[in-house]
Structure 1
Amino acid sequence: MDVHCDETDDPQSRFLEVLAEEARVRGMGAQVTASHTCAMGSYDNAYCSKLFRLLKASGINFISCPTESIHLQGRFDSWPKRRGVTRVAELDRAGINVCFAQDSIQDPWYPLGNGNIMRILDAGLHICHMLGYEDLQRCLDLITDNSARTLCLGDNYGIAEGRPANLLILDAGKRLRRAAPPGQSADLHSSRQSYFAAPGGADSLSGISLTLTRPRCRVNPLLARGFMWYLLTTFSVPAMGSSVGAGSLRITRTLIL
């Protein structure tokens, strides 16, 4: 259950408290998500301290859409102007499940956006003051593990044999660089046409070994220096622009470098 809740910068808005209590009483917390909750960015700290106890007891999840929130909120402020984003860092440090997302792409609520989750992560880390060393060490959780928990994916998520091969390969050798890779990535999806892009140029690319349960997949350039190689049936992509149709992929073997 995804509830778009308190998407306002009114500090008196209390729908989140009602939602959390209902989820707690009904024992539904793991299946409930509070999206936006922008009003939390305007709550005073005394109320938030009390509220966080209820949020932890309820077990609900949170989604922040940082680009939309900073665009839409704070419109009645002159200066200082509020950011209008929920307390992502505080939720995360309190052990409450929170993740980043984008819910508007070139629509009346947000005229930009392309669904690039790495762009959302970059914006969210800046807006929420999460550029410290410890935050950056685990920032990818905000768009991977935490998101999977929010969606209740269970055994349908993760790097393990037999699971759907939906993955993003980043050209980044060090953990901190993965938060802001140098414009190179490869997106692989198990059930839709796959598209791979590497703006760095052909001299930075070479083959990658994949396995297909059904040997059909559209392939454009993959990165040779990605931080993960997923080995699925031996299927080699030797160069740019190779194309062999579209199909379903599943992980049969993994090797993490």
Structure 2
Amino acid sequence: MELENFLKYGENQFLPNLSIDLVIIGYQKDDLKCLLLKVGPKWVLPGGHIKIDESVDMAVSRVLQERTSLKKPHFKFLKVFGDKHRNFKEEFKVFFKEKGIPWQEGHWLTNRFVTLAYYSLVDIENTDPKPGDFDEAAEWFSFDELPDIGLDHESIIRTARHRLKEDIQREQLTYNLLSNEFTMPELHRLHETILKEKLDRSRFQKKMLGSGLFERLPKLNKSTPGSNPYQYRLVQKN
């Protein structure tokens, strides 16, 4: 069984005392969401460990692919969470009991762990969320309506939400949350949702087009009555 092998031999396969936690962010129906996994009565962030023979970026990409099924997922470093008391012995003790696995004092997972936190922006419609061996379910939740969060993951989630708000004012990366083709009104609404403030539409569009990152497509969006805004996409680089 995969889970049993991980619990038994993981300390020989992964870098010790180091983990990865991922805030996977999506956007749907004018709502910003994050992907969470159900472990017992609580929900936690997708995460994992770094294999001895892989780089940190490779590990992040691997875990993201396992959880979202995306081939080349976007991700960005968030922060190191390394409080001196950061270990979750009692939580793992409960987990072992629920799974019917004999408890061992001093198990490698009960050590203090420093976690490297990342956030990832994805198009929800292109994802196929999958729970791991530890998890019972994988679901999207609005940042404004989070369930009961376990471990210290609510702090990581809030940090990612705040960082995204800061980052989009310095660089353009929100297109990762939309489909490959989108309209300027869609991009405008997305930014208003993230920033939680109104933005002047004409000034916003001028700024986006002035970035040189987007190209206008010849076809018009006919999905809504009335005005049919042009579709845009990220400029394809050779």
> By percentage of residues, which structure has more strand?
2
